[in-house]
Structure 1
């Protein structure tokens, strides 16, 4: 797959760059460029990111960072079985536990919420940092909802991190998940309160909390044109553009020579009416 010229490979994280030092220089540069493209496209173009991840995987399958990137690209495309295999491989290579929550979420994606709950109670969770523990709590609550246990999902999300007034990178998502669970349980007033709190914490727009809050408040957003009307307008513009043909340039006309005045014709038979017509 072609890589834009502005991608040098130097954009990758320093820890990943260090991992790639085990490869020959030229190979390391190629792998780095593909990893940069995975990170660049994974949100807006998951399929494109997946393609670049497969190239990187073909070039350096024994590098943990490459297996991790391949896992996230597969995860973004809902290829949960493939993602889980890549995450497991990356974990074996690195020995870390950072991928434990997303591995559990893959189990959810594969229709095994019970397995995800088992992972939520495993010793590995205690080795996670605060962000990882919050992520694990979100996955566990999702597994509870998968199993129809709404009240248990709500209780799972109740935590010091949820009650804290400080805003952390995970705060908006945690509040959003709690509000959504409350709404699913029919507790609309509480859900509205927590959607509002999620909006306060969502500084980068990572959730649609503002839309959900507006929906609860009965606010409707309408476009000036419906989608069908917009399509019709675009088609009409295209037809009008096609109908206009370029005008051929006109050859300049040679100036006409002045006409000599004609002497009036004398006629003795002219009537008054004929004179008026002249």
Structure 2
């Protein structure tokens, strides 16, 4: 990306770079703001492939699939790379065209992808099958050497998770549980909610013991109870003193 920005005047390159940095920082936690920064970068340097790609991912994160697809296509025309092919196919799914996504999964461009790209393409194809109600075909699509491998790669957790989810959708709960457990083993950075899905299948409910609203209510009740106890103690002390005084008066009279 830095190399591509060298084609711009220095000041302009710095401005574009700052906006691209903000896109990267915000795209997961605040996709709307990331999208706003991407639009600024596109306005400044729409002829830079990296800018078009960043704009595509920002639009994709906001489910603006038509816009994302247009940006990805522009970036691909500029670079000639097939790297964006899987996410372009997923945009077709987002636009309600799973058949088109499946066509792309069988295109020659897939053979130009690296291993990570091919796994991503397989995930998209399986998703397209599920969109079309073809659950068994989705399961078969995900069955691959990468799924069977015991080695953990960056895509392993997501691949196992997708397979487990497809099995569960097909009513194969026992197998689904097994593969959710395998996804948990591979999910070192928490990229999926496999542990929650596994707990759900096992009937485990997690309760937040530190719920702030409940904690505040409990604290108030404790304070009220303490005040009431203190008042009762004061009353008891007063009554006791009065009784002692009465007994003293009786003794004096005697």
Alignment pair present for 1:214 and 2:206? no
Alignment pair present for 1:32 and 2:23? no
Q: Which residue of 2 aligns with 1:9?
A: none
Alignment pair present for 1:186 and 2:160? no
Alignment pair present for 1:143 and 2:122? no
Tell me how far 1:232 sits from its aligned partner: 7.9
Find 1:84's aligned residue among 69, 72, 76: 69
Distance of 2:172 and 2:211 partners within structure 1: 33
Tell me how far 1:224 sits from its aligned partner: 3.1
Find 1:129's aligned residue among 114, 117, 133: 114
Tell me how far 1:230 sits from its aligned partner: 4.7
Alignment pair present for 1:41 and 2:23? no
Tell me how far 1:222 sits from its aligned partner: 1.3
Q: Which residue of 2 aligns with 1:166?
A: 151
Alignment pair present for 1:73 and 2:84? no
Q: Which has the larger radius of gyration?
A: 1
Distance of 1:192 and 1:216 partners within structure 2: 7
Distance of 2:67 and 2:59 partners within structure 1: 6
Larger helix share, 1 or 2: 2
Distance of 2:75 and 2:98 partners within structure 1: 22
SS in 1 for 2:120: helix
Tell me how far 1:223 sits from its aligned partner: 2.1
Q: Which residue of 2 aligns with 1:95?
A: 80
Tell me how far 1:226 sits from its aligned partner: 6.4
Alignment pair present for 1:202 and 2:203? no
CA displacement, residues 47-95 of structure 1 (integer Å, 9 cap, x when unaligned)? 0100100000000000000000000000000000000000000000011
Find 2:137's aligned residue among 152, 155, 169: 152
RMSD across aligned positions (CA): 1.6
Structure 1 unmatched ranges of 5 or more = 1-15, 237-278
TM-score, L = length of structure 1: 0.76
Q: Which residue of 1 aligns with 2:48?
A: 63
